[in-house]
Structure 1
């Protein structure tokens, strides 16, 4: 803390303090400080005889709590008495500036003290305090002098002072200046002035004893407004305090003009860069032109030159007063890359003066143009056997932009089996990159994309259709290598029996298929005499009626050839089975030993024969086969409704007695036997049997011989029948063993899932000894969970012809037996099963064949 000091005339110690000091000094120095002690006593006595006031001093702006003086001690008051005696300090109007601490009796600064506020410009400034204590009442006067500090700088009345001086004023002319004021006093208010350096003006300050300094500007050099239109000087006032404080004022001197200068541009030329995408109304540049003159003479009007091209006038405009050039049109770098604009500036003087400058506007490119793409086909359509690298089209690209914006790259989709090969700048070749197959893909829709290097990039696309031209690389193909056809006999000539169809995967001429027969001999005749095939439709026609009895199976091949160069072809086999029809009526066979055929059958019958005795036998054959050749015999009722004592066996044709003959029976019996086959419709034949009833003793010898021969023949026929039964049993046993072997192998073979497919159609063959048939119930594909479709195999043994002999010997074999019906599964997929199946059929056929040969041999021996 800054402590206040008492005046130099008044010492700052009280009487008690001096006495204490004298006592202490006396005791310490014992007379050595006598002179100092006496001096202290004299000063104390002088203070007591004074005015009775205590005088302190304190600088202004002292901080709160600043020590001023030990007022209680200086007034001779004990610290312990301050509170009981109600010590208090009073001051008129300034009671809160100073305060006394009752604990230690110190006078200190309580609030801010501003000397200029208290006393203004007065040289002396003090605060008068009255100190009052009671018991007894005492009043003391205390004077605290406030000392000035240099806390106020010099201040000018205005921040700037303006002067308007014509450039025609003479040198040494004076212009008065208003000085500064300082609120401090004494040395702190003593001002000195300085002027900033200037070639034109100097400062003149004249001082007097009672008045402040008089200031003025003195012109030392002639003014030129065009050279120096304005002068800015700085006048500084500095006081005498420590530290020094300053105040400044701006002196603004304006030189009045004479119109003698033309407008001048800041630059001889302006250079501006604009993107071609710049929007209308954009500020291009602002022309900076000046005229050294003032007023009307210095006002400038801007305009384009009279020779400015029309495209500049369309795209730009200039503001006549501000000189702003703005864009009013659309820029296109690809059309105009730069504009050179002539600009004129004219003042409004009389006569007017003008100047010119040029503005160069360079247009910068932006990526505003997409690439342009052109495709020139060369070898389209392209053959599917074209080698790799075949050029199919040229691709040319271009971009009106420049730089990276004009760099174009190309790609093709789909990339397989084609690719783009760059030949030179902006040119590509579309070439074949992998093998073609027209049958897989017949055409390609290619999209070529060109993309520039902008960000974001622009692109263009073009489509090209590449057709793949066919070559003859596929032969006609049939759906299956072999077809089985069933044709009923007695077909009309030229009837359609089947249609072959081959598919060629090629196109156009290469896929145009023509059909022809593969010629061969059928017996003594050419195949073409039986069938023909239409060259275009593939329809197979029977040229003549077919006869099952003559030709049961006609097997041939049809060839399919395309129209390519060279042509390709394939063959298919057709198996035409001629199905039997009931076109032959039963034919009666003559009695063995009788010459010629036809006529009635005559027999002698003894009346003594008993019931069931065979008296005759009707023999008949049918040229058909199967059921059409299965004959049955019926006895027509006699005329008049009389019941005949004879009957005929249904399938053997044997006529036997139904009861013993008696005398009442007519001697001549005429029997009418109807022979009928099982065809649809059934055909019939009628046999007449004449029976003569004779007594047993009246039979001729010939008849006896015949009977005896008949008895021998019957015995021989019994032997033949035994042989025949043995042969049939042997063949049947062989067939059963074969079927069991097949079933065992079939069951051991792993089942094949999804055995669904077309079965083989019905196969019918016949021979002189009988017929067999193999029928497929379902030709369509069958897909069910019940297993594969079943195949029925049926075998029959029809009636055999009777060997020649007597009536007793003419006995046909017994009724045809239904040998069996076996269900087979047709889904044979592996070679071993198929081989076994074919072996079964072959063995069965051979067995029937050998059985027929055996029967023929036996009948031959018997004949």
Structure 2
């Protein structure tokens, strides 16, 4: 069995601090599948260095470096089949630093049975999967490692590779010395674009060009360097209600990092550099919380804080990004509306209605045009009779006081209202109460027109009452003096001209025959309208209702003067006789029907109801 050749590539990196101080650029170390706690990986060899000022720091927290520069595992560490890579940073007191990449590899080797190329029981390629460092600065081409087939022991061979990075995109990235098997990289690689490559390697006999071993897929892993700073995923816009308790979540800062997710290059740590008196951020989760319960939107409604995100868990050699988070303080209804004056006084004329009396402005510190700011007014006292209403002006937020039902100066001269201002939303986060304000309403007297003794007066009059008969008086008085002096009376309506009115005293007398059966009478009622006029020409109106009593001034009549009776042979004929009377009972039906004295005895009457009889013949024949 051919020996597996693993070489530690100890290319040196010159420290900028001391030109003669060298540390390895990379180390390849064979380790167990699972590294136990306390296992010594290797010792870092340095040359011509000031060991007192040189500090070595592993980026992987599962390892430590002792004072004698030994790399030791702090916890059990599993090594994947493809290996594990981490960086060790070397830095001096001046802050200059360099990176050494440590590649941990399995000691296992690959074994497969051949499938017919050579009659051998097994074959082995060497070395294990290769690692290259992204963004390597060269010089190029740069050797990676040799590909070795144990068929070299029997044949003079040459090697050929193909695949992505060779003859496929990205073409020409790798090249292979066909004679020595040395694999080289020809330019820098961005791991965020290509994280690994699988190359197919074949080995041939130089003389026969026949394959001397099975093809082998070689995996080239691009080791990550921390070349991408973390970035913010979302806009840093947050809102938190005012007066929130300390520890209230404001929001979460979301980030991303393009580096290798299996390394500490993407382990973000969060910091706030401003606003620390009011806000805090969880360094591991990026959740912003409040540190106080004193946030007051009315004092300051917006804060801009600086957020810094660092990869590599915030190590000194990390990459960072700074952003500004805007935290808006949300409104709660912690301010009641306040009146701009301590009280109001207003006049209203008697008999006025649906009139705006007063605008009542208020002030509110809460957020404008929200339920916390929009006012709602209530009349607490003084509106027991429903004479007033109060609305809110949607544009100005003022209270609008209206008189909706007329006031009578003769009944009341002053009304004392108590008006409360509140919001659509209930108060929160305050011990304040809704405020009230007194409004003194003075009723102003108006010179009113005369008022009749009642809006409507009723008289009963028999029809056909003689002209000139007094049926009653309808008088008015001045509402202030309670006197009828100087008031004149007139008719406004009298459809049939049945009534005369005395202008001086309001007496009503029959002017023309009152007929209950007239079309001007509806259900026995006849109406006239009166007007009273005082010395200042102010007027008042009233209605006179005349109930017309019926008298028996109409005789019953048979509306059909001729009736036809039809007979059949052998049967008596009959005809229905119906009578009418314009009067009401008892001056109309029931009617009594009789035959004239000179009838020939051949007819008889049979009562059907109060208004109809049957007249029948006593013999057969035709009646003309």
Scaled by the length of structure 2, what TM-score is found?
Answer: 0.36
Greater relative contact order, per chain length (Cα 8 Å cut-off, separation 6+): 2
Scaled by the length of structure 1, what TM-score is found?
Answer: 0.27
Question: As a proportion of its length, which structure holds more helix?
Answer: 1
Question: As a proportion of its length, which structure holds more strand?
Answer: 2
